Structure 1
Amino acid sequence: MLLDGFNSFLGLLSAAMLVLAVVALVMALMAREDAYRAAGKQKKSFWLIILGIVVAVNLWPIFIFLQIAGLIATIVFFVDVRPALKAVGGGRRRGGSSSDGPYGPYNGGR
């Protein structure tokens, strides 16, 4: 009974790692190529290949070591690359400026 609970926990953990990898891959796809260069990060194609391999490894979990290495690569993307891309404006934006509030632009009370 304890082994069944452990196996279901590992299944949930594996599914969470797969979802994280897919989200990171989609975010890497949405960013512009020049944003990677402006942020001083690896090329967009590099991250697409790495995250694509991570998704494939998580789809067919053969070796836990590869899944852990993929999780580390995904975390690096979320913690290091994505904030740098957002800082240079590499993501798709909805428009507006940085001074826009929830109800429109902030004009300093004028």
Structure 2
Amino acid sequence: MSPLDVTGWILDLIWFIELGIGVFAFVDCLRHKNDAFVAAGKRTKGLWFGITGVALLLILLAYPFQGAGRLDPLNFLVIIAVVASAVYLADVRPAVSQMRGRRGGGGRMGPYGPW
């Protein structure tokens, strides 16, 4: 096994992880209503839909074996795309999900209110 084979496998693994993060963020953004974004104070669904959509597009363009002129999975733009998707998942998703639970009336309630 040559070092180039190992590098290819590592780049494939990195790309699949990036793709999973991007797809999950994009699909999760699709399933929430616009009102939940505004109520949570996280801008609008359209903005986050655009951010996660462009991030997913950049990640898809980084597929390791598409030939010359394509983005590398470790390219600066791809790293920014993954960070944007991660910000959505770590900050926006929990806030929007909490608004969704609050609307249903039976959301997660602790002794001092929703959590």
Q: Same fold (TM over 0.5)?
A: yes
Q: What is the letter of the counterpart of residue 50 of structure 1?
A: I
Match of 1:108 in 2: none
Q: 1:3-45 CA deviation, whole Å, 9 max, x = no partner?
A: 2212211111112111211111110000010000100002101
Single out whichever of 33-42 and 10-19 deviates more from structure 2.
10-19
Report the Cα distance in structure 1 between the residues aligned to 2:7 and 2:25, rounded to whole angstroms. Answer: 27
Q: What is the letter of the counterpart of residue 33 of structure 1?
A: N
Aligned length: 98
Report the Cα distance in structure 1 between the residues aligned to 2:54 and 2:48, rounded to whole angstroms. Answer: 10
1:73 aligns with 2:84: yes
Name which one, 1 or 2, has greater alpha-carbon Rg.
Answer: 1
Report the RMSD for the aligned CA atoms in angstroms: 2.3
Match of 1:47 in 2: 48
Runs of 4+ residues deviating >3 angstroms: none
1:97 aligns with 2:106: yes
Alpha-carbon shift at residue 96 of structure 1 (Å): 8.0
Match of 2:98 among 87, 91, 104: 87
Report the Cα distance in structure 2 between the residues aligned to 1:79 and 1:2, rounded to whole angstroms. Answer: 35
Pair 96,36 (structure 1): closer, same or farther in 2 beyond 3 Å: closer
What TM-score, normalized to structure 2?
Answer: 0.75
1:26 aligns with 2:27: yes
